[in-house]
A and B are shown apart, each in its own frame.
Chain A
Amino acid sequence: MVDDPKFTPTRRRFLQGAAVAGGAAATGQLAHAQAADPLITDLGEQPWSQYLGDGVDAAPYGMPSRHEAHVVRRNVPWLTADSVSSVNFTPLHEMDGIITPNGLCFERHHGGVADVAPEDFRLMINGLVDSEMVFTLEDIMRFPRENRTYFLECAANSGMEWRGSQLNGCQFTHGMIHNVMYTGVPLRLLLEEAGVKTEGTWLLAEGADASGMSRSIPMEKAMDDCLVAFAMNGERLRPEQGYPVRLVVPGWEGNMWVKWLRRLEVGDAPWHHREETSKYTDLLEHGEARRFTWEMDAKSVITNPSPQAPITHGPGPTVLTGVAWSGRGTIPRVDVTIDGGINWHQARMSGPSFEKSMHRFYFEFDWDGSPMLLQSRAHDSTGYVQPTKDALREIRGENSIYHNNGIQTWAVDESGAAENVEIG
């Protein structure tokens, strides 16, 4: 393994190089390297400049650089009984911009990934409609389409942190989210095709997987901005994201975005199925529970630095970045602090700002090498300001599991290492 030139020495060299660069920056002036860099002066160290590389078609479906093999979804094995009904997490600390690459979108399955061939796909609409109908995928592809970028966040994202800081890394604390451009048919058009009766005020969406995932959706939302999507980021849905067809329910908790969609039933009352009673209800301190907490409140997290992405360059110019989102609109503003909230600064928003989509923010500063307490605070277009975890606990207690959108704190020490902490 050590003899294999394709393995880690490059990464090690990179880290050493980074340390030298950091030391130079700390002196405040340009310094010469102690010795000429063989990666520049020695052709033997740069085989890619001398010998031919792979031709076209080496990988008919392209993959990330082999040097990025550590950028993967990860799970927390102790969280669930079994990987078939479990969750893994998006590596937010390795990403930039606002779009989540398809292969990095977190997975949450309740009965494993259904393997549905496109020609075997059927979508039924039944219940309180003028005509109960069946659509094939080919039928769906003949309706007018829309392209929309939306985040999907699991209601249980950050759910392990209600009682205090537990997991060390934004991948684990905040990684049950992805942000994707969907192509799909407005759900409204399919419902209009069947003709919703006037008493049809609710919709049941049901999946074809072995859990028969089912959720009740109010008709007002179904007719507003929901999509019946078949593509994500320009290609067909990934199997683990509901191939061939999933429901998109913008701004609302991810569990409602039924994957492997097979049926829509129109009714005059909600169904109160398992995922909207036993699960995805918010138990409050006094023993009562909120139901139908569909919208995702405004939230943000600093992705770099963070426990999985420490500062490796030492003092000097430092890029702090993160993501923010709201199920109720856009994110016009994010505040960040490096001293635990004594003083706040407005971060710089960058990239497109879409409704119910992830936003990217940056805060560039000169780190003096002293310990920091990093936080970010999202403001959404309705005027809602992301609360502290303690403010949330004051209203909801610690038993909610779901909808934890409290402000996250990372403690950064002199070495640049970061840890998930709570402060007071």
Chain B
Amino acid sequence: MKKVLTLSAILLAGSASLAFAQEAAAPSRDGGYGLGRAAAPEEVAAWDIDIRPDGMGLPAGSGDVWTGEELWIAQCSACHGDFGEAVGRWPVLAGGFGTLDGEDPVKTIGSYWPYLSTVWDYVHRAMPYGAAQSLSDDDVYAIVAYLMYVNNLVDDDFTLSSDNFLDVRLENEENFFMDDRIEVEFPIFTQEPCMENCAESIEITMRAAVLDVTPDEGTDEAVVEEAAVVEEAAVEEVVEEAVVEEVVEAALDPALIEAGESTFRQCRSCHQVGDGARNAAGPALNGIYNAQAGTREGFRYSPALVEAGEGGTVWTDEALTAFLLDPRGYISGNRMAFRGVRDEADIPGLIAYLRSEGGE
């Protein structure tokens, strides 16, 4: 009993002064702790990829608008559109001039970004989406040159290089300024607020329900019951699917499917497959196996892919293998932004996965 009392006394003391919980900082040691090791120059070179507006980090190289356009159509346009106008909700990269002070600002490289170095750095570190850091330095120069071209910054005979890079200025650079909330907002937002009789009357001026953009969820009984009905229907579907799957799985090796699921990680930033798959940057792949090329409903294919399908290309094992190894070589002019599966041995698994998830 005595011990318990002591403990509660400590707790009381603690609640009176909560500062005890944010106690002394972890100590420094003179000369350091001697942990870690020196980084080798080639290790720093491999990871130190960042570029700064003053040119720090920019590698030697060059690329022209026409080369950039070719790379762009093959690797970027599926999401960003042929001219940077964007597909769906992917980022718009061109145009938008004169919109920043309007009701619907379009913040593009041309209209908003302050520095060209940001474009070079980002394309190089993160693009193409799902195959980051796969572009050569010259490829990046060319793509940045194309982005300058579609933003009306240069003519089509322009070549961007490490020699002329620092001559480029983007027009919105001067319209950024350092955070000034402390000076501008604090004097207003530190006044003691009214507590009583602060208004005569209050009216509702806007309701979220009018817009009705909130995702549904099962929070009340009616919705829960509805969900139960849906789940029952889903159960029936699963039963039917199970029968189908048995047939498929009789021919497909589960280990192969699993390997294919892992390979599919390279594809899933653009393609969906399986229950509820829908067209995204690339077409949904349900039923792709043994289907005519370029025929998934509702997807806007390149003319090249539609032509191939009309010309008789069917996604057999052989066709899928050839296409996945070298997409642009097999159907020239198609828009799939993917350079190909590196190891041919991964392709049977990928096909097995597509068949198992997406049906025959």
- Taking Cβ atoms with an 8 Å cutoff, the residues of A that contact B are 1-2, 7-8, 11-12, 15, 70, 74-82, 84-85, 110-112, 124-127, 131-136, 139, 142-146, 148, 164-169, 172, 185-186, 188-189, 192-195, 204, 206, 210-212, 214, 262-263, 265, 267, 269, 271-274, 277-278, 281, 283, 285-295, 297, 307-310, 335, 339-344, 352-355, 373, 377, 382-387, 391, 395, 399, 411, 419-424
Contact = CB atoms under 8 A, between A and B. Distances in A.
Contact of A1 (B38, B211, B232): B232
Interface stretch (B59-67, B138-146, B195-203): B195-203
A78 B213 contact: yes
A411 B49 contact: no
B173 to A, nearest CB: 10
B113 A278 contact: yes
Nearest to A11: B224
Nearest to A131: B38
Question: Which has the most chain B C-beta neighbours within 10 Å: A145, A148, A167?
Answer: A167
A263 B47 contact: yes
B16 interface: no
Contacts of A354: 18, 21-22
Contacts of B184: 395
A289 B126 contact: no
A210 B26 contact: no
B243 interface: no
B247 interface: no
Contacts of B199: 340-342
Identify the 8 closest CB pairs spanning chains A and B, nearest first: A287-B101, A340-B202, A144-B26, A212-B125, A420-B208, A287-B100, A81-B89, A168-B214
Contact of A168 (B179, B209, B225): B209
A271 B178 contact: no
B121 A70 contact: no
A277 B115 contact: yes
B203 to A, nearest CB: 6
A126 B224 contact: no
B39 A2 contact: no
Given A287-B175, A384-B186, A169 B214 contact: yes
Given A1-B228, A84-B269, A395-B184, A265 B50 contact: yes
Contact of B26 (A1, A82, A186, A391): A186
19 contacts: A1-B228, A76-B213, A76-B214, A81-B79, A81-B280, A127-B48, A139-B36, A195-B32, A210-B130, A271-B121, A281-B176, A310-B220, A344-B194, A373-B204, A382-B190, A385-B190, A385-B193, A411-B204, A424-B202
Contacts of B206: 164-165, 421-422
A223 to B, nearest CB: 10
A288 B22 contact: no
A422 to B, nearest CB: 4
A132 B132 contact: no
Contacts of A277: 113-115, 118, 176
Interface string B289-310: 0000000000000000000000
A39 to B, nearest CB: 18
Contacts of B192: 385
A154 to B, nearest CB: 17
B132 A212 contact: yes
A166 B211 contact: yes
A175 to B, nearest CB: 12
Nearest to B185: A395
Question: Which has the most chain A C-beta neighbours within 10 Å: B33, B39, B115?
Answer: B39
